[in-house]
Amino acid sequence: MIIDFENRVLTEKYALMSQLIIPRPIAWIVTKGEVLNLAPFSYFTGLSSNPPTMIVSIGHRPDGTPKDTLRNLRETKKCVVCMIEEEQLEAMHFSSKGVDADVSESELFDIPMEEVVEGFPPMVKGVKAAFFCEYLQEVDLKGSKTIPVIIEIKHLYINESIITDSEKMTLELDAIARIGKSYAKLGKKITPPDIP
């Protein structure tokens, strides 16, 4: 079966992509506006290690206005991307609720925050890894209401409990990912065979 994306509505395209481009890591992004904003995004991935960058796609609100995360990033140029494990899943999911710009998700859902790097928003307390990033640029998708934003990593917080080899900086994060409308954890790791 070949599906012609030109003849599919947006919701169908999203459903197909979100079930097949998997697993998608979740960026639980903290920004500062008039209040502290906390929102999860799953159209997110690493982009390059030189410069160390990530890209996150941020949609607009149903009324067409930019989401708080995008507006705050444009204004302050700073964000914190928290990586979550299962213990943060419920709080992260709750924070996806659409609320007014003057409502802080961290306050609404009693999500504790922690100041870690001066000059950046706080991170979610208890996460095992968080990237402290600066806004770099947006990608123009020809009038799309989804804005891919490139952010550059300036600092990285790592909880020592996920370091399995400090010399090689080997990490073991039991991260939560998105598959379709569900969440998932990674299963077994597969060691690649030697290339002849």
How is the chain split into domains, by residue range? 5-185
Q: What is the DSSP string of 48-108?
A: EETTEEEEEEE-B-TTSPBPHHHHHHHHH-EEEEEE-BGGGHHHHHHTTS---TT--HHHH
Instruction: Read off the pLDDT of each residue in 60-89 and give the average, rounded to a whole number.
Output: 94
**Residue 134 banded pLDDT, cuts 50, 70, 90:** very high
Give the bridge partners for 129, in sequence order.
83, 158
Q: Which CATH number fits domain 5-185: 3.40.50.10880, 3.40.50.2300, 2.30.110.10, 1.10.30.50?
A: 2.30.110.10
d(CA 23, CA 42): 9
pLDDT of residue 21: 81
Do residues 44 and 25 touch, judged by C-beta distance below 8 A? yes
**Residue 24 banded pLDDT, cuts 50, 70, 90:** confident
Give the bridge partners for 40, in sequence order.
28
Instruction: Read off the pLDDT of each residue in 2-27 and give the average, rounded to a whole number.
Output: 86
Do residues 153 and 52 touch, judged by C-beta distance below 8 A? yes
d(CA 196, CA 188): 24
- Asked if residue 193 has a cis previous peptide bond (ω within 30° of 0), the answer is no
d(CA 25, CA 117): 23
Looking at the predicted structure, is the pLDDT value of residue 63 above 90? no
The amino acid at residue 145 is: K
Instruction: Read off the pLDDT of each residue in 179-185 and give the average, rounded to a whole number.
Output: 89
The amino acid at residue 47 is: L
Please give the mean pLDDT across all residues of the chain. 92
Ramachandran assignment for 16, one of left (phi > 0), alpha (psi -120 to 50 degrees), beta (any other): alpha
Contacts 24+ apart (CB under 8 A), 108-112: 111/38
Comparing 15 with 151, the larger pLDDT belongs to 151
